[in-house]
Chain A
Amino acid sequence: MNTIITIFHFEWKKAWPTRAFRLSLLGLLAVSLYAIFNGSSLIRDQRRNIDRALASEDSVFRSVVAQIHTTDTASADGKIALRRLASATSTITSPYKRWTSYWEPGSFAFLSAGNRDVYPYYHELEPYSFYMRFFKNEVSSPLRQLYGNFDLAFVIVLLFPLWIIALTFDAWSSEKESGTLAIVSLARSAVTLVTGKFLFNWVIVSVVLNGILVVALIVADHPRIIDWLRIVGSCNAYLASWFLLCYVVCRLRKTSVVNAIALTACWILLTIALPAIFNTVATTKYPVTAEIFSNYIRRVQMPDDPAVKAAKLREFFRYYPQYADTDTSMPAIANKLYVVYGNLSDRSADPLLERYIHEMRLREAFLAWGNFFNPVIMCQRELNAVVGTDLESYIAYVKSARAYVQVLKESLTAKVFADAWMTDDELLHRLSFVEFLHQTRTK
């Protein structure tokens, strides 16, 4: 123990006067704090945008109610306007009346923003057709998909290993090259000295890492301690794996130059080359259907052929037998047909969504299998999973949004087939996405 304390004491004396050590330590601290700030800004902006979308939704419906009350119903135009504003059909099909669904950022989402800015994180939905709205938005920032976000996960996963390499690559070779290894080995095992140096650097890196994670805990909104502990555990285990790799390379007793090249090559291999290779293989081996994006994002066209219309209605009544006695002659059925077609369109697209999710999961499973030995990818995946920015969280959101639209669709379809109008209360106190999620979770 005394030997380790001695090594720690003098390693600090050796390290701190070194400009490169001070610059790298302070630089990494500054970069980490900026990454927290940058990630927080990204998530804060997303929260603002979600709030704006919700406020916009509320404002539209309040405006509709206000217009209903100020419409001159004595005139023919006024009656038409009132129908446009208050009928259940217009509520379900109007492109102006939209319900907002959103992918709620978790408390620690700023640490590992993941694909939050790649996938759209909020949607303005129409009960008329889920797919028409949901997959209309393209990936918001394709460039980000290439480079990722400058968040704390980026710093920890990519930059901390470089720092560890810089601190340890010559732990053994520098002693040999400066003639101290021979002198030390007369007093203590050289392995003790090198192990002591690694422990010292591990303590330094751990103090910096965990200090930064404490800052992240302070910055987070309503954090769950168990999530924070999982993040701390993952990051510490990840960096320990880099120390282990550096230790193994150092114990090969090559020169400092060879060690530096070997460890840099390992970094490139693990962070860039292998993930890129597996991604390419995954993309080729598990292609994801694009049909859902191309075929269902357009408003459904009403067929003119009466036979087609009749067939569509028969199909619809199979799903909704409670409406089977509806008058299907024109013009009584005219407005209802939009609802029928929108409903059937979503139903026919549902299997494609399942296929899309299945294919995404297959690709993800292949990547998880391929990168099982790669601590870089495993750490990034674990961080994304803990903070809720992983694929499964996104899929859960997509499925929730789809279910939400179906619930809206069901309730509004009943009103459409009853030729009912929307009340003020129904327009002002709509089922919100968050209420829907709450109800679903309660059930």
Chain B
Amino acid sequence: MLQAINLTKTYQQHTALNRLNLSVGKGEVFCLLGQNGAGKTTTINLFLGFIAATSGKALINGIEVKVNDPATKKLIAYIPEVVTLYPNLTSLENLDFFSRLAGFRYNRAQLEEFLTRSGLQRDAISKRLADHSKGMRQKVGIAIALARNAEVIFMDEPTSGLDPKATDEFTGIVKSLGEAGKSVLMATHDIFNAVNVGTHVGIMRQGELVHTLSAPEISANDLQKLYLETI
């Protein structure tokens, strides 16, 4: 579903991403670990088509990503680190707005279905987002991704700022996305969460993917040790 071939991004003298090669298959959850500036967000932005690659290719479902190319955009969804959305709108209205912009028109029952599938409590559906916790807003963000019917979902540090219970809930939701056949590429600082949620874990350093591991084959402690040695 998702493939990077020698993907490189340089800014003048600075190389943000250097010859990255990775692939994420259908139903896989790939977690990228690394310090700030390691190249995780640059990787996601390249796949999203927000920035152009200096060299190499980013492929989604075999289609090369280009900046603002609708051909790949319709296949993907994105959950940024800050999901404030529109605080004056309810969860339902936020979802309705983004769905309509994406060209989907759902009735109320369908919208509620997306929100409950993303783990939002029913009584929060009609509440304004201003009254939601970050975890609840993340769930609305997932509902927006589900409503887009996206094959690939990108997440940029989605669990930062979440309390342990919310993180646990979020982990379950992401796992279920993988089980539903979605491909997920997630940038995170949370090693334990990466092991729990991911099928694969990559460790990045200074724009390079140094290690790629199969998550079920490594414990959180071993991953932490490897991570600290790597960075």
Chain A interface residues toward B at CB < 8 A? 2-3, 6, 10, 13-15, 17-18, 177-180, 182-189, 193
Residues of chain A within 8 A of B83, CB atoms compared: 179
Are B101 and A17 in touch, CB under 8 angstroms?
no
Closest CB in chain A relative to B209 CB, distance in Å: 23
Nearest chain A CB to B136 CB, angstrom units: 15
**Interface SS, A side:** helix
Which one of B76, B87, B128 has the greatest number of beta carbons of chain A within 10 Å?
Answer: B87
* In contact, A178 and B50 (Cβ under 8 angstroms): no
Chain B: residues with Cβ within 8 Å of the partner, total of 29
Indicate if the CB atoms of A180 and B102 lie closer than 8 Å. Answer: no
- Asked if B62 is an interface residue, CB under 8 A from chain A, the answer is no
> How far apart are B162's CB and chain A's nearest CB, in angstroms?
15
Pair B86/A180 contact, Cβ less than 8 Å: yes
B100: Cβ under 8 A from any A Cβ:
yes
Would you call A10 and B93 a contact (CB within 8 A)? yes
| Per-residue A-contact encoding for B90-124, CB less than 8 Å = 1, 0 else | 00010011101111000000000000000000000
Q: For the complex formed, measure the closest distance between the CB of B29 and the CB atoms of chain A, giving whole angstroms.
A: 20
Give the distance to chain B from A352, nearest Cβ to Cβ, in Å.
Answer: 65
Q: A6-B97, A186-B78 are in contact. Are A179 and B85 (CB under 8 A)?
A: yes
* A residues in contact with B85, CB < 8 Å: 178-180
Kindly count the residue-residue contacts between A and B in the assembled complex, taking CB atoms under 8 Å apart. Answer: 66
Quick check: is B59 within 8 A (CB to CB) of the other chain?
no
A-B pairs, top 8 by smallest CB distance, nearest first, are A178-B84, A187-B102, A179-B80, A179-B82, A187-B101, A6-B100, A10-B97, A14-B88
Task: Please report B residues at the A interface, Cβ cutoff 8 Å.
Answer: 48, 50, 68, 73, 76-78, 80-89, 93, 96-98, 100-103, 128, 141, 144, 148
Residues in B neighbouring A17, C-beta threshold 8 A: 88, 128
* Complex Cα spacing A408 to B102, Å: 79
B88:A13 contact, CB within 8 angstroms: yes
Residues of chain B contacted by A187 (CB below 8 angstroms): 73, 98, 101-103, 148
Distance A15 CA – B50 CA, assembled complex (angstroms): 29
Cα A189 to Cα B85 with chains together (Å): 17
What are 12 inter-chain pairs, A to B, with CB distance below 8 A? A10-B97, A13-B89, A14-B86, A14-B89, A15-B88, A17-B88, A177-B82, A178-B84, A182-B78, A185-B50, A186-B148, A193-B101
Q: Which of A13, A184, A188 contacts B93 (CB 8 A)?
A: A13
CA distance A183 to B86 in the complex (A): 12
Apart from the given pairs A10-B96, A13-B93, A186-B76, 13 other A-B contacts in the complex at a CB distance below 8 Å = A10-B93, A13-B88, A13-B89, A15-B88, A178-B87, A179-B83, A180-B86, A184-B101, A185-B68, A186-B102, A187-B98, A187-B102, A188-B102
Q: Within the complex, what minimum Cβ distance (angstroms) separates B145 from chain A?
A: 9
Q: Which residue of B lies closest to A6 (CB)?
A: B100
Residues of chain B with a CB closer than 8 A to A185's CB: 50, 68
Which of chain A's residues has its CB closest to B104's CB?
A187
A359-B53 Cα distance, complex, nearest whole Å: 65
Q: How far is the CA of A6 from the CA of B95 in the complex (A)?
A: 13
CA distance A14 to B128 in the complex (A): 10
Cα distance, A18 to B77, chains bound together (Å)? 29
- Does B81 contact A179, Cβ atoms closer than 8 Å? yes
